[in-house]
């Protein structure tokens, strides 16, 4: 899966996806992501509308979608890993 695999990807989608996949336990990306969220929070207030509203709306949508896809991917990967470990453990116990 490549970040820019499709030429029709919007900047908001690419930035959201890259932010989501940079987040890893113990990385500084979490701290920077929190700063980004705090910075953007004021622009999501209902009284603060303007030409930037649509772009920020799309960014938030893509951020949520990217988080959901990453979570599903990691859960699926963990299920396969659990099945492999269970199979290997049952083989060891059977001998």
pLDDT of residue 4: 54
Residue 95 has pLDDT above 50, yes or no: no
Q: Which of 14-18, 21-25, 30-34, 81-85 bottoms out in mean pLDDT, i.e. has the lowest?
A: 81-85
Q: How many domains does the chain have?
A: 1
pLDDT value, residue 81: 66
CB-CB contact of 84 with 76 (8 Å)? no
Residue 19 CB neighbours (<10 A): 19
Q: What is the pLDDT of residues 35-46, one digit of tens each?
A: 998 998 888 888
Q: Is residue 4 part of a domain?
A: no
82 or 33: which carries more pLDDT confidence? 33
Give, in order, the Cα–Cα distances in Å from 1 to each of 21, 23, 34, 57, 82: 11, 16, 25, 24, 23
Report how far apart, in Å, the C-alpha atoms of 44 and of each of 1, 6, 41, 50 are: 30, 28, 5, 11
Q: Is residue 6 part of a domain?
A: no
Range of the domain at 64: 11-94
pLDDT tens across 35-74, in order?
Answer: 998 998 888 888 888 888 898 999 999 999 999 999 899 8
Average confidence (pLDDT) over 85-93: 60
């Amino acid at each position: 899966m490549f970040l820019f695999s499709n030429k029709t990807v919007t900047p908001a989608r690419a930035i959201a996806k890259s932010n989501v996949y940079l987040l890893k336990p113990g990385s500084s990306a979490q701290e920077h992501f929190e700063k980004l969220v705090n910075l953007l929070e004021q622009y999501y207030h209902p009284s603060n509308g303007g030409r930037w509203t649509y772009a920020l709306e799309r960014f938030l949508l893509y951020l949520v979608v990217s988080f959901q896809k990453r979570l599903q991917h990691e859960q699926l990967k963990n299920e396969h890993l659990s099945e492999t470990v269970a199979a290997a453990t049952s083989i060891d116990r059977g001998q």
